[in-house]
Structure 1
Amino acid sequence: MNPPPHPPVRLIATDLDGTLLRSDGTVSARTQAALTLAEDAGLCIVFVTGRPPRWMESLSEHTGPHGVAICSNGGAVYDVRRKELVESFPLRAEDALAVVEALRRELPGVSFAFEYPSGFSHEPDYTSQMWGSDGVQRIAPAEEILGAADAHTVFKILAKHPDLDPDEMLRRACLAAGDLAEITRSSPMLEISATGVSKATTLARWCADRGIAAEEVVAFGDMPNDLPMLAWAGTAYAVANAHPQVLAATPGRAGDHDEDGVAEVIEKLVASL
């Protein structure tokens, strides 16, 4: 571990999958204790994840009732303690449809799913064990889903292809539709948010409302969707198992997510306060 120097810290922002969570999706006892240690020391804990809000209630059994969660790559804010959605930042309906049309042209065979406050809908060909089937409201073509009355509340689009390499899919999608939305990935799927909405923008807004400066934030991540947040935070760590792009762009190093890398940094951070 190679911790960079940093000013006094007020907030810890951490990704979940591949960063705070172990490979089996759990949080170790050591990591749970480190989060409690940080809050007892007066630090804010913010989970910043690609996961949807509907997954946070069950996850809190592992992470504990800490702080808030910025979900869906910045598309929504969820109060972990109160177990409720605080706000969301939807795509414009016309932009969502334009993204779908552009990606169908560029990536034949692509299929889509949609996250919004009242649930989750997906196309018939879209299957994924990662996001589960709970909360599914509608299974239909994307155009039909986006034509529904609640289409204006969609805060995240997921796009999946049966054959393409995820990094190649991301590259081509950004060229085809990057002017219509924010496109990234933390998994084999593309994750699409409204223009100007990312983990970084929503975290920055949340911090600004509480008078917390970027220099007072320590952030942890592992995948391309974490890069804006890691670039914004005053101190940034990539876990040892991170994507090569994240390792190349991030100065700090934490241990592997299966070896309590984030917990180790938090323990040393609190000890230095």
Structure 2
Amino acid sequence: MLPVAVKLVALDIDGTIVRPGEDVPSPRLTAAVGALQSAGVVVVLASGRMFPGTAAVARHLGLHAPVICQQGCSVHTLDGGIIHEFPIDHAAALRVVGYARVLDRAYEWFNPVRYIVSREGPATAEYGRVSGITVECMDYPERSGLPATGVGIISTRVEAPEIHRALVRQFGETLHLLDFPEVTVAVAPDANKGHALSLICADFGIERADVVAIGDSVNDAAMLAWARRGIALAHSDAYAMDAADEVLAENDGEPVAEFLEDLLRLV
């Protein structure tokens, strides 16, 4: 059952409102988001993208609210101002990249507006494209002088689960470790979409009970768990599925747009 009182809807971007192979939400979804906003519902984007790529989708949708970027490492106004930022402990970040070097794997070092990798590849190029930034490459990104909000070890679908398990054994809850299929990302323990969403809601004076969140991946799990109603998609990973209250059925149409249209009828 959908909540009756909805004051804020949080939306993941890639795989949720932007489908594979597309760059912006569909016209139907764009219209549904616009109608919700016109009805007084705050719509927040919460993405793994860096700020430029997240803001581009927010502007396409005509949104006004702050955006959550980089798995929840930062919250920005649409003019680029940083409202909240959660840097990773520098010593811990160095230990993670040290492990990447032991494994002879590429790694990433990033903050809200810069993305530096030790080796370029198709995955890093695609992340730079959707994030709207130029990927920087250097042998030792940690020597760039950039204070990092996060780091990641880039591997394969076969290797990534064991890398994630090894980092969990080493760091426990002192880092927030994200188990993506081909990269294991380490960020500060309070850097997640759920915490960032709670801060935005506090700024707007919106209660958790009035929040709906929709996402499909491990970096959405904290947001889906925090919201009054967490919605996953049929293709979601196990982390999102476990955190969600409801899963939208896959169909030949647009399940997220349909859900938002139904939600509008209850506003």
Aligned to 2:92: 95
Contact 2:96 2:151 in 1 (8 A): no
> Hey, what's the Cα distance between the residues in 1 that align with 2:29 and 2:5?
21
2:8 counterpart of 1:11: yes
> Hey, what's the Cα distance between the residues in 2 that align with 1:257 and 1:196?
35
Change (3 A) 1:122 1:239: same
Unpaired runs of 5+ in structure 2? none
Instruction: Select 2:176's aligned residue among 160, 182, 188.
Output: 182
CA deviation digits over 1:191-233, x for unaligned, max 9? Answer: 2211221111111122122221211110111111211111111
TM-score normalised over the length of structure 1: 0.85
Change (3 A) 1:176 1:77: same
Instruction: Select 1:228's aligned residue among 204, 217, 222.
Output: 222
Letter in 1 for 2:43: I
Aligned to 2:199: 205
Q: Please state whether the residue corresponding to 1:171 is helix, strand or coil.
A: helix
Letter in 2 for 1:130: E
Instruction: Select 1:267's aligned residue among 236, 246, 261.
Output: 261
Aligned to 2:66: 68
Letter in 2 for 1:18: G
Range with bigger deviation, 211-220 or 255-264:
255-264
Q: Please state whether the residue corresponding to 1:113 is helix, strand or coil.
A: strand
Q: How does 1:128-147 map to 2 (within 5 A)?
A: 128=123, 129-132=125-128, 135-136=133-134, 138-142=136-140, 145-147=141-143
| Identity fraction in percent | 25
Aligned to 2:40: 42
CA deviation digits over 1:140-184, x for unaligned, max 9? Answer: 234xx323433x3x1122320146344444333322334442111
Unpaired runs of 5+ in structure 1? none
Contact 1:13 1:48 in 2 (8 A): yes
2:25 counterpart of 1:22: no
> Hey, what's the Cα distance between the residues in 2 that align with 1:136 and 1:242?
29
CA deviation digits over 1:114-146, x for unaligned, max 9? Answer: 22245221103555232126644742234xx32
How big is the shift at 1:111? 1.6
Q: Please state whether the residue corresponding to 2:119 is helix, strand or coil.
A: coil
Letter in 2 for 1:50: G
Contact 1:23 1:258 in 2 (8 A): no
Letter in 2 for 1:120: Y
> Hey, what's the Cα distance between the residues in 2 that align with 1:159 and 1:227?
20
2:50 counterpart of 1:55: no
> Hey, what's the Cα distance between the residues in 2 that align with 1:216 and 1:13?
11
Instruction: Select 1:239's aligned residue among 224, 233, 241.
Output: 233
RMSD, aligned α-carbons: 2.5
Contact 1:50 1:186 in 2 (8 A): no
2:118 counterpart of 1:123: yes
Contact 1:23 1:257 in 2 (8 A): no
Matched pairs, number: 263
